[in-house]
Amino acid sequence: MPSLLVLACWAAVVVAEPLPQPHAPGIESPDYVWNAPNEEQLRALAHEADPVNGELAYAVCRGCHRADGAGRGDALYPQLAGQHATVLIKQMVDVRTGRRDNPKMHPFVAEWVVSTEDVADIAAYLASLPIPTNNLKGPGEQLAQGRILYERDCAICHGGQGEGDAEEFYPRVAGQHYSYLDQESRLIRDRGRRNANPEMVKAIAGYSDAEIAAVSDYLSRLPTDAQ
């Protein structure tokens, strides 16, 4: 999508009443399968991504996630720079199709604003960016407990250093904003994030808010320079 058209669509989103986000069955459905193949996600993954176009298409995202992809810990906008492209594609497609509820984000990634190919290009661009190190961190008071819990219950999927797994669509969690990790983990535990992996729901089902905060704080402080 040419950059002028991207900016024109962005302007239309700002001034016009956006269409409501669609709703697709999620974890509340008895036949829910996490990351089940869907046509748009497969098309985006198969697209030969162009990070140059991705930088242009990312114009609609900068207002919240910032030009460097650092997001905002104080506003619960996640850090996207350096995240796996597969993860970014999945999450954007899930918002577009209504498997993940995010009415604030939906108008900016809807199909009338960015194409499926743009989604893949944006993901490739963000994945190529260096991971900022000035993310919001927690109070630092329960880091030992956070490490124990993470290594026991979370590292099997997200990796020993929080690096995630691109092939399995597991996000990089090291260096993410503490506030975002805390919010999303509580939503997943409480089955409020409808595109959540049931295995993660099961892993943290018994966590208290304080334990989730401890893990989130620990992850927010993990180094990212070697990843």
Please identify which residue in the block is written with the tokens 């993410």.
176
Give 2's Cβ-side CA count (13 Å radius).
3
Q: State how far Cα 35 lies from the chain centre.
A: 14
pLDDT on residue 227:
44
**Nearest 5°: phi and psi at 191?**
65, 30
* pLDDT (tens place) for every residue of the chain, 227 residues total: 444 444 444 444 444 566 899 999 999 999 999 999 899 999 999 999 999 999 999 999 999 999 999 999 999 999 999 999 999 999 999 999 999 999 999 999 999 999 999 999 999 999 999 999 999 999 999 999 999 999 999 999 999 999 999 999 999 999 999 999 999 999 999 999 999 999 999 999 999 999 999 999 999 999 987 44
User: Is the CB of residue 1 less than 8 Å from the CB of residue 57?
Assistant: yes
pLDDT on residue 225:
73
pLDDT on residue 17:
64
pLDDT on residue 19:
85
**Nearest 5°: phi and psi at 49?**
-65, 145
Measure the CA–CA gap between 12 and 16, rounded to whole angstroms. Answer: 6
pLDDT on residue 16:
53
User: Is the CB of residue 93 less than 8 Å from the CB of residue 41?
Assistant: yes
- Token duo for residue 187: 């939503």
Angle of CA points 110, 115, 118, to nearest 5° = 110
- Where does residue 56 rank: exposed (0-12), middle (13-18), buried (19+ CB within 10 A)? buried
Measure the CA–CA gap between 177 and 137, rounded to whole angstroms. Answer: 6
- Token duo for residue 10: 């962005």
- Token duo for residue 203: 């892993």
List of domains in the chain: 3-128 (1.10.760.10), 143-220 (1.10.760.10)
